[in-house]
Amino acid sequence: MKIIKLKYLLLALCLTGFTVATDVPSKPDDSRFTKIVLDDDLNEPMELDIADDGVVYYIERIGNLNSFDPKTNKKKLIAKLSVRATAEDGLLGLALDPNFSTNHWLYMYYGDPVPQREGFANVLCRFEVTATGLINKKEILRVPLLHEGVNHSAGSLAFDAKGNLYLSTGDNTSPFESDGYSPSDDRPGRLRFDALKSSGNTNDLRGKILRIHPTMDGAYTIPEGNLFPKGTPGTRPEIYVMGCRNPYRISVDNRTGFLYWGEVGPDAGNDSLMRGPRGNDEINQARRAGNFGWPMFVGNNKPYYRYDFDAKKSGELFDARKPINFSRNNTGLKELPPAQSAFIWYPYADSPEFPELGTGGRNAMGGPVYYYDDYEAFAGKFPRYFDKKLFIYDWMRGWVFMAKMKENGDLEKLERFLPETEFNHPVDMAFNKKGELYMLEYGTYWRAKNTDAKLVRIEYNEGNRAPVAKITADKTVGAAPLKVRFSAKGSFDYDKSDSLKYEWFFTANTVQGRGPEPTFTFTKPGIYQSRVRVTDPKGKMTENRLTVRVGNEPPTVRVDWQGNRSFYFDESEVNYQVKVTDREDKITDPKRIKVLFHYLPEGEDAAGMMATGEVTLKGKTLIEQSDCKACHALNNKSVGPSYQEVAKRYSEVDISKLAEKIINGGGGVWTKDHVMSAHPQLLKEDAAEMVRYILSLNRPSPQLPSKGSVKLSQPQGSYFMIARYTDAGRLVGQDIVRLRPAKFVASEADVFHKVAKKNAPALGASTMNYNETGAWICFKNLDLTGLKTLKTNLYTPKLIGTLEIRAGSPLGPVIAEVPVGGKDVEETTVPLRASEGLQDVYVVYRETSGGANIWKTLNLRWLEFGK
């Protein structure tokens, strides 16, 4: 009966005009997407476009126009343009003509290297692509610029379905003397600090998105529907959108005609009662021509105050319904069109409206809207789940989101795209005719040639998925003949039922090995790109590679330490000498020996030091996890100063001041051209740790001679002596000596079995809880030379037995026995059998009575070796 009623209900809904969703596409698993690197080592990639035949065209800011043919997997440098690549200018924008397949025209926007009578300008030009390069240059449009000490060039290009060309331009204004708020300083001589001269000026092409219709002769006409009808006094008819700051990347929805762009916003980290709102980046949607508010408004029309830069006083808030451009630098209309709200907006800190976008630096970009039915019937195209969704991305934060919209274009929700995939500063993206997504990744550092700057393709695998290939080797460097055991056992297939086939190419392009773990001997010196190809039963394959260097064996380094190599006792002085042997060099060069001596206080990352041979400060880790590397490098100037330059200028007394500056942002100390972004999401103590790490770069080197003595005077903590030798072939050998106090907590154990680590702060110690007989803990590589006694601190609630101290394994020879007597707390000293050299030391509990369990545990608090 219920089924019949439901059927009639559905029929009634349909007859009354309601539609019933019966086929809602499900979200595909992220594992069905693969990121493929097509080209790397690019020099500031900027924008890309894709021809109907699948060839990808992409530009680099220094002037390179490249193409990549996915059919042949070959890259071609088509031309190197002469451009003015200063400040934020250069080769910025690229778009293929809608009829590119027949006329071979493309459009580029770049800094003209030759100033004209009116001064510097960025130019929009059309070129024809031939087999040998570019011909028939046609200059279409010039955008005059201030040149020195200004920012924000934008420069993105896009066509709509009607053949109209959109060009974004920046406000050509310095933001560095308005404290991160509205740069509207119209005092005489302050032209470069006034965005009302450009973004807010109806008679200026800067701070806009222009819309023109290119013609066959290299000129253009004005489409209907631009912001100002042609002939309107005090306006430019090319303007489609005004009130932009830095509309860095744009796209056009060719179905709806809506224009989308990412707007890089101002830098203020907090709202100001005197100046106005904090900075926000924006994703904007223009359904028609309009004014989007800058520099009077930001975000969802948050107004700034009109500010008197002489008197340092605020006036009235700007009115979004009737914005007035008061600037003496304004050459256009005084009353501007009403301001439009941003589509999406977010600050450095958590966004109240869009919390899913996270926190941190900001650099918003507008991507394409995907329509499933607009692409070929290709198995690898993005599935219908992505239909009608706008792709947006952020250069600084490295994320990509999808914006699902309602039928009228309003935002419904945001959803992260491939959250576990790394996108290294995405700077442009586009779909090809097959529905595959191509992306340019700018790379790690701003304004730098990054080896990790890439052209990539995001592929979707319908049904059977390609396996994931992993490759390792027991050695990758050594003298010939070099026998190497390879492994691909880490490879896997998301389709669990698949069995995998492994083919190996060690030195040639023909198969030289099969199976997951082959062994190969390299007989001749050389550098080899050894590859494994992993194939599933349906023929899907993936390759991975590993570099093997044959011809030079790493040197052997040994610290001859005249004392125990694991422990130090009271204050003492120990002699040492570093000895090196090298198979190829024969006679070692003392200048190539580097000896470092570090002290780490208790609680610092001793395990990290042993693993890497480097001091890993908390501040360094915090910096590596932040967006700092986009603007700073260790010893090279980027947008901001290098860390080493900062370390030379400041001292420990500046830590609090510098931590505040990291949180609040600021500028003017190192350059007038850039400001450091605010980081309000950081805790002050974390910002202080970041400063401490930077300042540590200016401390004297802990380097020592290859022979000498060191004093050990600290009561707690660890000492590390690190000796390295770099041979003539640039291979490095290393030895590390770690010294800890002879008394140490049991929780420093490297390995444990059926033992739990329990913090006992009231006792000032970290305790290991033995839960049953036969349980053990292990300390790796302890030097037992010269040690005669062992003292332990135990809590033994009615447990009777023995702690066996064994060498080498849990069943190895017993070198000491500690009685467990059933008392609450026991401190016992026992003799240690004579042993030499480094040993893995196991502490094993053997129970006689008492019944240890998780509720009644033997607690080992600390151990102390004696001489």
The burial class, CB within 10 Å (0-12 / 13-18 / 19+), for 824 is exposed
Contact 246, 263 (CB under 8 A): yes
- Token duo for residue 792: 């332990």
Q: Nearest 5°: phi and psi at 655? A: -60, -50
pLDDT band at 761 (very low <50, low <70, confident <90, very high): very low
Q: Nearest 5°: phi and psi at 415? A: -145, 130
| pLDDT score of 345 more than 60 | yes
pLDDT band at 628 (very low <50, low <70, confident <90, very high): confident
Of 269 and 430, the structure prediction assigns the larger pLDDT to: 430
The per-residue pLDDT for range 679-708, each reduced to its tens digit, is 877 778 888 888 888 887 777 667 899 999
Of the candidates 297, 303, 310, 289, the residue with the CA atom closest to the CA atom of residue 202: 289
**Residue 724: which residues within 8 A CB-CB, separation 6 or more?**
557, 593, 594, 595, 596, 613, 732, 733, 734
pLDDT band at 727 (very low <50, low <70, confident <90, very high): confident
The burial class, CB within 10 Å (0-12 / 13-18 / 19+), for 56 is buried
CA atoms within 13 A on the CB side of 266: 33
**Residue 495: which residues within 8 A CB-CB, separation 6 or more?**
464, 465, 536
- Return the residue matching tokens 């510098």: 658
The per-residue pLDDT for range 30-53, each reduced to its tens digit, is 999 988 888 888 999 999 999 999
pLDDT of residue 622: 76
- Token duo for residue 471: 């490759």
Q: How far is Cα 430 from Cα 456, in angstroms, rounded to an integer?
A: 11
Sheet containing strand 389-394, strands side by side: 364-370, 389-394, 400-405, 411-416
pLDDT of residue 654: 86
The per-residue pLDDT for range 829-861, each reduced to its tens digit, is 999 999 888 999 999 999 998 888 877 888 899
pLDDT band at 730 (very low <50, low <70, confident <90, very high): confident
pTM of the model: 0.68
pLDDT band at 747 (very low <50, low <70, confident <90, very high): confident
Which residues is 575 bridged to in the sheet? Answer: 709
pLDDT of residue 2: 41
The per-residue pLDDT for range 237-291, each reduced to its tens digit, is 999 999 999 999 999 999 999 999 999 999 898 999 999 999 999 999 999 999 9
Of 4 and 814, the structure prediction assigns the larger pLDDT to: 814
